[in-house]
Amino acid sequence: MKKTFIEPTRLIVSALMLMAAAACGPGQQSSSVGANSATSLAWPRPDPATLADSPHKQEVLYGEALVRRTYALVGPRVANAAMRYSGNNLACGSCHLDGGRQRYALSLIGAADAYPRNMARENSVQTLEQRINGCFERSMNGRALPTGSREMTAIVAYIRFLSDAAPAGLEGRGAPAVHLLQRAADPGRGAAVYSARCAVCHGANGQGARSADGSGYTYPPLWGEDSFNDGAGMHRIITAANFIRANMPYGTTFESPVLTEEEAFDVAAYINTQPRPHRSGLDRDYPDRGRKPVDAPFPPYADHFSQREHTFGPWTSMQQGQPPR
């Protein structure tokens, strides 16, 4: 039997949350996604278990395990200190939901075909391996896997396997863009959203809940020392709001968001004003300042808007590069 890694309690709480949300009324259903004709194509659910037995299958399965149970294989508590690449006990799958297979939940389906590509953060062409290491160093608050290592090769093989299942032009990576607010995102209002909608799983203190065996998390932390660092994509309020609106509370999909757009921005602002690990040298990101995303929460900037304005918005009047994709 294939292990799903999602504990039943999680599903029950999700179902209750969704029922509660539905009972509260329709809410705002606007989404920029429906406009895209590519969404009518079927979304694949590639499963490595279906591959014929071969060394390739073993490699793809190891890659899947690294994505779903990162903490157990290369996390900060693994026995072999040389294998501690991730600095926190998250999994890649904490954000790339269902091991990167869920549409608009930062899906990795299609990602293999999107690289190498020219990225704003480095202002240079980046390989898939470099992009993966961007998440190791920031989202996982750890260090880069060596290119050519068994682990990097396996993660790439898994993402390639996922991507081979997608017809060309199928969209579903990232998360749908929420309309930018005309006001600044408000962490105070976000605190109320957090208590009402998030704390039941992620905890009032944001530290989530460990899984029964104490290795990873049933509900991952959203801030604190075991969370993503301040250089991560999730630490940008627009990026976080897009992800949260389409995917949280857990069980939500982009087709029927539970939070309003305002709630998504405010709760993202709340989460991202809590303490978390600091990454040094952020001023060297986006060396071409004109390509810096408007919501990059750290200076320097090419324009006269303050760090506070860039962090919280309103972003609509800023002339800098829009967030990538």
Q: Does 101 bind ligand HEC (CB under 6 A)?
A: no
- What's the CA dihedral at 159, 257, 4, 171 to 10 degrees? -20
Spatial separation of the C-alpha atoms in residues 109 and 111, rounded to whole Å: 6
Q: Does 106 bind ligand HEC (CB under 6 A)?
A: yes
Which residues lie closer than 8 Å to 14 by C-beta, 6 or more apart? Answer: 249, 250, 251
In angstroms, give the least distance from the CB of 27 to ligand HEC.
12
> CB burial class (10 A; 0-12, 13-18, 19+) of residue 23?
exposed
In angstroms, give the least distance from the CB of 52 to ligand HEC.
25
Q: Does 234 bind ligand HEC (CB under 6 A)?
A: yes
Structure-block tokens of residue 165: 């299942």
| 34-42, 46-54, 228-236, 312-320 -> range binding ligand HEC (CB under 6 A) | 228-236
| Distance separating the N- and C-terminal Cα atoms of the chain | 38
At residue 318, the 3 state secondary structure works out as: coil
Residue with tokens 């490595």: 48
Which residues lie closer than 8 Å to 144 by C-beta, 6 or more apart? Answer: 85, 133, 136, 137
Q: Does 17 bind ligand HEC (CB under 6 A)?
A: yes
Answer for which of 3, 284, 304, 325 binds ligand HEC (CB under 6 A) is 325
Q: How far is CA 40 from CA 29, 51, 141, in A?
A: 18, 27, 37
Q: How far is CA 207 from CA 4, 89, 138, 189, in A?
A: 23, 12, 18, 20
Q: Does 43 bind ligand HEC (CB under 6 A)?
A: no
Residue with smaller CB distance to ligand HEC, 239 or 318: 239
Cβ neighbours around 14 below 10 Å, total: 17
Q: Does 312 bind ligand HEC (CB under 6 A)?
A: no
Q: Does 111 bind ligand HEC (CB under 6 A)?
A: yes
Answer for which of 69, 96, 103, 310 binds ligand HEC (CB under 6 A) is 96
Reading phi first (left if > 0) and then psi (alpha if -120 to 50, else beta), residue 127 is in: beta
Answer for which of 198, 237, 269, 294 binds ligand HEC (CB under 6 A) is 198
Spatial separation of the C-alpha atoms in residues 161 and 67, rounded to whole Å: 13
| 22-30, 161-169, 213-221, 311-319 -> range binding ligand HEC (CB under 6 A) | 213-221
Q: Does 233 bind ligand HEC (CB under 6 A)?
A: yes
Answer for which of 14, 149, 260, 322 binds ligand HEC (CB under 6 A) is 14
Per-residue contact track with ligand HEC, 290 to 309, x per CB under 6 A? --------------------
Answer for which of 103, 121, 202, 292 binds ligand HEC (CB under 6 A) is 202
Residues between 176 and 195 that touch ligand HEC (CB under 6 A): none
Q: Does 155 bind ligand HEC (CB under 6 A)?
A: yes
Spatial separation of the C-alpha atoms in residues 79 and 91, rounded to whole Å: 17
Residues that bind ligand HEC (CB under 6 A): 10, 13-14, 17, 67, 70, 90-97, 106, 108, 111, 114, 131-132, 135-136, 139-140, 155, 173-174, 197-198, 200-202, 219-222, 228, 232-234, 239, 244, 248-250, 259, 267, 271, 324-325
